[in-house]
Chains A and B, each alone.
Chain A
């Protein structure tokens, strides 16, 4: 079993534009690891450096203590799944899956056995004789996955493999990918810009932005406890409220809060919509919560929940109302946002997370 994949200080620029600014990551054996970020954040560049299609300007990549970045791409023993499938259109499905085995000189009968196994793995039994053009996008990507898996790679790289598929198929195939990866026990690095997909599929996520690894952690850590402003805003929805601090103290909606470190300057207080309550006329405010008065500008009913956007003196604020009943807030009606203090987070202007206390 291969040891961990270590990425040390990997930097890369293209003609003066820096794409990666020294990234350090460790991916454990058997782990499903996701690189998440908006387009241009450097996630695909990093993946292609690991695959060997690009060489880093500086830094190293090692797998189980062995240098990977000095080997040419075809000797790295890494399986790769591509966004545009990249199945060979001139070969049958079976020949596609057998491709890597043939180049490795695997004996014929073993190839046949492993191709059959691969087809079964991705639920394409009996379709080995088809050509890719005769298959749907989802089926083609299954071929791509089987092709990368049957070589029993030391590492599996997936470059936005689901982004060309429709929503329903995306969910179905992502569960299959995760199940297969766990079954084979191979470490996988998955690139996506879809935060929901990242949360659903990963053991750990690295949120990237501007060529920097902003935060690495489990989906729960990333969502519930973002350490920097960027992941806080990029993963899920977040309300940011500008709020000046003086001498480590700040006041919001009738509550005074303290920063445990850091002092003055413009900071932002943040809270998830599902933690924001809405107070309509006549209701009493709960204790330990900041209350900000405003008016309803938009109310969107979505069945399981409703989104209510309030215009307040601190800007717009979105509240997610669980199990919205018959009570419908009409646009223009006065309402207050209720922000429980223990749910508030604070970020410095540098993007750093600050600790809040009451």
Chain B
């Protein structure tokens, strides 16, 4: 005789719900582009013609190669800059290191497109800086072309590398480094032989992220690349072509883009396959105090990096206060751009706020529950779920946008042109980040805390809400604000999905830049920047509050 072997667990319902959401909002739409890519546009028959055309057309072959160049170039640049900055700030006493961190985050969240535009204003054919340098006899080439694209990607994405790597650097057990030194290894070698291998998983993760972001970005190649076409720009042009477009080809290119990301994910997994460096933290690494020249050049380098990274944001703010007449800038300063924004284009501001608020609410609710599953209910099922959650990481926003339009254009679920479709696509794109950050916050809280509540008579769900949720609340909230930031700044998917009434601020900025209405673009970008910066600051405060005070004694037990 034996009793029932599995007692009822409400988390099973959560798991089923999570799968339903993933299937409905991710797998089902993506299946639409897969099928569209293997169907002939004219005959409707099953064919590999689209793929053959990708291989045979010279422009597409070039786009493929260019995509790889942009991806690896952007990744390499971001890694060099990001790891350097992380190493300087995580291990040395640098005056104003909080400012550096804030500036890096500001660079990270600066509205898209305005970045590319600002680089043109400064370093383009008629760029302010370029002309200035020419005046003192220094000739630099204009920023256009492949090197420009790579430079912009590096400056745009290095903060990801910086943030992930400095966290890893701060949690390397200093005893390991001391052991290396004690065994006779000089500090310079030690960094490469001991420290670097230990933070490889973090570097590999950020490398993957910057690669995927680089190949998904189509605004930068468009504005700065000139004739440097990539798969993302080709797909967007093919799909958005005013004259009907070519959904089959756009889908085939999208599939190629997804495949490239997928291969990179595999490569990254392979690279960190031996990641067994459990962080058994006893104390934090020491910060080295610097003196003299070393201090000077480290400070100089750190500030140069972050200031260079925030140039687009600074330029946008400055230009938003320039006097304009129509779309043309005039000498002097004025508030015309803002007057115009509030008089003519206030709808996108409202849209952005409403859409992102709804989005974040959904993301927090669903992401917290899924994050719990990942962290506390490890099983084959949740491992699969975690794998499925990787999909939004590797599917470029533009591709997911195309998938949504293809799938939701006609019944059974027709919702193109609605606000819902924009909200849902941002929701699914950002959900994995929220779920994973909740999962990692949960791993800091001993599961015994919840078991204690259960043994004291709390049903499992109540125990979760009474003990675990209050403990990870600061983490959830700061994660929510970061989701808010990304939701407000989401462009690529919205650009495919918007109609007149559902345009958001990033979309409107993009349109203004394309129209040459830089005043409006700058003013909108500044407003977006201020909102973003506010959210980031509050998130920071919350994260800080979470580290101290009675409610933050989370690190207590492991």
Q: Which A residues are closer than 8 A to B by beta carbons? A: 51-53, 55-60, 67, 69-80, 82-90, 92, 99-100, 103-104, 131-134, 144, 147-148, 151, 157
Contacts and interface: CB of A to CB of B under 8 A. Distances in A.
Contact of A55 (B6, B454, B457): B6
Task: Give the interface SS of chain B, mostly helix, strand, loop or mixed.
Answer: helix
A3 to B, nearest CB: 18
Nearest to B9: A72
Interface residues of B, number: 34
B456 A84 contact: no
B325 interface: no
B453 A57 contact: no
Contacts of B289: none
Contact of A148 (B455, B463, B554): B455
A99 B449 CA distance: 12
Contact of B448 (A86, A90, A157): A86
A74 B2 contact: no
A85 B3 contact: no
Given A55-B6, A57-B5, A99-B456, A89 B554 contact: yes
B382 to A, nearest CB: 14
B457 A84 contact: no
A82 B6 CA distance: 24
A131 B454 contact: no
Nearest to B1: A60
A55 B551 contact: no
Contacts of A67: 3
Contact of A74 (B446, B463, B467): B463
Contacts of B458: 74, 99, 103
B456 A100 contact: yes
Contacts of B2: 56, 58-60
B556 A73 contact: no
Given A74-B455, A103-B456, A104-B457, A86 B4 contact: no
A74 B5 contact: no
Contacts of B449: 86-89
Given A60-B3, A84-B557, A151 B448 contact: no
A60 B459 CA distance: 22
A64 B384 CA distance: 42
Contacts of B455: 51-52, 73-74, 76, 78-80, 148, 157
Contacts of B451: 51, 53, 73, 80, 82, 86
Top 7 nearest A-B pairs by Cβ distance? A100-B456, A133-B553, A89-B553, A86-B448, A84-B557, A131-B550, A80-B455
19 contacts: A56-B3, A70-B3, A72-B8, A72-B459, A73-B454, A74-B458, A74-B459, A79-B455, A80-B451, A80-B455, A82-B451, A82-B452, A86-B452, A88-B449, A89-B471, A89-B554, A99-B458, A104-B457, A133-B552
Given A132-B556, A147-B452, A84 B3 contact: no
Interface string B59-86: 0000000000000000000000000000
A35 B146 CA distance: 68
Interface in B272-308: none
A224 B115 CA distance: 80
Nearest to A132: B553
Interface in B347-389: none
A84 B453 CA distance: 14
Contacts of A73: 7, 451, 454-455, 460
Nearest to B452: A86
Contact of B471 (A56, A90, A99): A90
B247 to A, nearest CB: 46
